[in-house]
A and B are shown apart, each in its own frame.
Chain A
Amino acid sequence: MKYRIQIILSFFSFFLAIINLNAQEKLEEEYKVKEDEVPAQAKKWINETFGEMKGIKWYYEKSSGKVSYEAKLKTNNEIYSIEFDTTGLIEDIEQKYDWKNISQNTRKGLVHYFKSNYIKYKIIKIQKQYLGTPYNLKSLIKQNEMEGITVNYEIEFHGRTEKENELWECLFNSNGELLQKKKIILKPSNNLEF
């Protein structure tokens, strides 16, 4: 009897986990931090990669329990968000990106995803994400060297299905295949509406 309950419970929690995977919510909390609060290794990587720079904004971010530091900077007309873990090890680089600059192959995959999942959709923001070792990511910025780099796309959009009309943040690989889907929950705007 006891085992049966345990089996039912574990089946139930597995089922809940699946639901949860399908409708993961983006819960993010961040605030600005001063440069001297940022791990030294992170600052060192930025300095070695971009050179002496002014106007870098640093943020402390908590996203679904994960803590990180994020640097926002603009150089050569490109906007970068660079994420580091709490020890200062680089996790990824995100670059603001235009739809028209995405390769044809990726776009084909993305359009296929959007058209087969939504009646109507509108892209709001695209970021190209680069993953790799600190060394590879440094070579990417400095020499445009793509070796050892994985490219993904983080796309924020609103998509309408028959059941819902929500705001989403999805991560796609370079073939335009979905890797991760999060629902963006906006904070209430009743002070702007009423």
Chain B
Amino acid sequence: MRLRFLFILFFFSGILMVQGSESYLGIVPEINISYKLKDIKFNVKAEFFQLFYANEGELGPEWDYQYENTDLQFFASKKVNPFISLALGYQYGIETGDKNTHRTIQQFSYVFRPGNLKWGHRVRAGQTFYEDEPTKFRFRYRLSVEIPLQGQSIDYNEFYVIASDEFLYAYQDKDQEYENRLAMYIGYLFENNSKFQLGIDYRTDLSSEPLVHNYWIRLGYLINL
């Protein structure tokens, strides 16, 4: 039932894509490593954005491989209690064509599990520094839910689904941007606490005219050392 609702949601987001006149499709392999040292958890993440389809309206659809960018993220987080964590992070963005960026990130996250589902709230603030542009300030909120597919909780060697929606607001100088990111993945938990996730991350740039739809197929491997 829960799954059916999520699929319907995705179906409607597909209709939105047809209405908008700009859309892109790409793939993002991702590796995410967490390591706990005493009270502090360190997290390193690398994401590689690659486009292979673009439909820019009048030009029509085009299949062409294009390497977009790589994001490298480093976080240090501390638990306030078993459910609430505060984290500070840094992101180095390697851009093709453009100059590389630096971003500082502050994060609050709250994981709770009423019943069988695990929910995560995440609030993030970020400041991106460019070499020749004013600093961009971003605020974002994400709600995620992890749904076990075999039983009441996700045990080792079991599949799960994770769905999330994130709203982003950004301003740079006098420009404002809004973006929505709806994602759904199927995941698998291994006995060594690592997770493999495969799914789609559908991003809508709400401030552009016409709307821009980005579909990213994501393959993630999350390791816990």
Stretch at the interface among A109-117, A173-181, A186-194: A186-194
Q: Which residue of B lies closest to A165 (CB)?
A: B81
Of A28, A32, A191, most buried by chain B (CB within 10 Å of CB) is: A191
Produce 1/0 per residue, B93-127, CB < 8 A to A. 00000000000000101010100001110100000
**A193 pairs with B224, CB closer than 8 A:** no
Task: Give Cα distance in the complex from A160 to B80, angstroms.
Answer: 10
**A192 pairs with B224, CB closer than 8 A:** no
Smallest distance from the beta carbon of B130 to chain A beta carbons, Å?
24
Query: Among residues 150 to 202 in chain B, which have CB atoms less than 8 Å away from a CB atom of chain A?
Result: 150-156, 158, 162, 187, 189, 193, 195, 197
**A158 pairs with B82, CB closer than 8 A:** yes
The residues of A that contact B43 with a CB separation of less than 8 Å are: 190, 193-194
> For the complex, is B87 an interface residue (Cβ under 8 Å from A)?
yes
A30-B151, A32-B150, A187-B189 in contact; A193/B77 too (CB < 8 A)? yes
Number of interface residues of A (CB under 8 A): 21
Task: Give Cα distance in the complex from A192 to B122, angstroms.
Answer: 8
Query: Among residues 134 to 176 in chain A, which have CB atoms less than 8 Å away from a CB atom of chain B?
Result: 158, 160, 165-167
The residues of A that contact B83 with a CB separation of less than 8 Å are: 158
Smallest distance from the beta carbon of A30 to chain B beta carbons, Å?
5
A30-B155, A31-B155 in contact; A190/B82 too (CB < 8 A)? no
Task: Give Cα distance in the complex from A160 to B81, angstroms.
Answer: 8
> For the complex, is A35 an interface residue (Cβ under 8 Å from B)?
no
- Report which of A59, A158, A160, A190 forms a contact with B222, defined as CB distance below 8 A: A190
**B187 pairs with A191, CB closer than 8 A:** yes
Of B75, B83, B107, most buried by chain A (CB within 10 Å of CB) is: B83
Task: Give Cα distance in the complex from A122 to B112, angstroms.
Answer: 13
Q: Which residue of B lies closest to A79 (CB)?
A: B115
**A166 pairs with B82, CB closer than 8 A:** yes
Task: Give Cα distance in the complex from A30 to B187, angstroms.
Answer: 18
Task: Give Cα distance in the complex from A109 to B209, angstroms.
Answer: 64
Number of interface residues of B (CB under 8 A): 40
The residues of A that contact B87 with a CB separation of less than 8 Å are: 193
The residues of A that contact B107 with a CB separation of less than 8 Å are: 193
Of A28, A29, A160, most buried by chain B (CB within 10 Å of CB) is: A29
Task: Give Cα distance in the complex from A30 to B155, angstroms.
Answer: 7
- Report which of B81, B144, B220 forms a contact with A158, defined as CB distance below 8 A: B81
Task: Give Cα distance in the complex from A193 to B105, angstroms.
Answer: 13
**A59 pairs with B152, CB closer than 8 A:** yes
Q: Which residue of A lies closest to B107 (CB)?
A: A193
**A194 pairs with B45, CB closer than 8 A:** yes
A192-B144, A193-B120, A194-B75 in contact; A187/B81 too (CB < 8 A)? no
A160-B81, A190-B222 in contact; A31/B195 too (CB < 8 A)? no
The residues of B that contact A193 with a CB separation of less than 8 Å are: 43, 77, 85, 87, 107, 109, 111, 120, 122
Q: Which residue of B lies closest to A122 (CB)?
A: B81
Smallest distance from the beta carbon of B209 to chain A beta carbons, Å?
32
Task: Give Cα distance in the complex from A72 to B17, angstroms.
Answer: 42
Q: Which residue of B lies closest to A62 (CB)?
A: B155
**B82 pairs with A167, CB closer than 8 A:** yes
The residues of A that contact B81 with a CB separation of less than 8 Å are: 122, 158, 160, 165
Beyond contacts A158-B81, A188-B34: 7 other A-B pairs, Cβ-Cβ < 8 A, are A28-B153, A30-B155, A59-B151, A158-B83, A160-B81, A189-B111, A191-B144
The 8 closest A-B pairs by CB, nearest first: A192-B120, A31-B151, A167-B82, A29-B155, A193-B109, A31-B150, A188-B224, A190-B34
A to B CB contacts below 8 Å, 13 in the list: A31-B151, A31-B155, A32-B151, A158-B82, A160-B81, A187-B189, A188-B193, A189-B118, A190-B32, A190-B34, A191-B144, A192-B120, A192-B162
Hey, which bits of chain A sit against chain B, CB under 8 A? 28-32, 59, 122, 158, 160, 165-167, 186-194
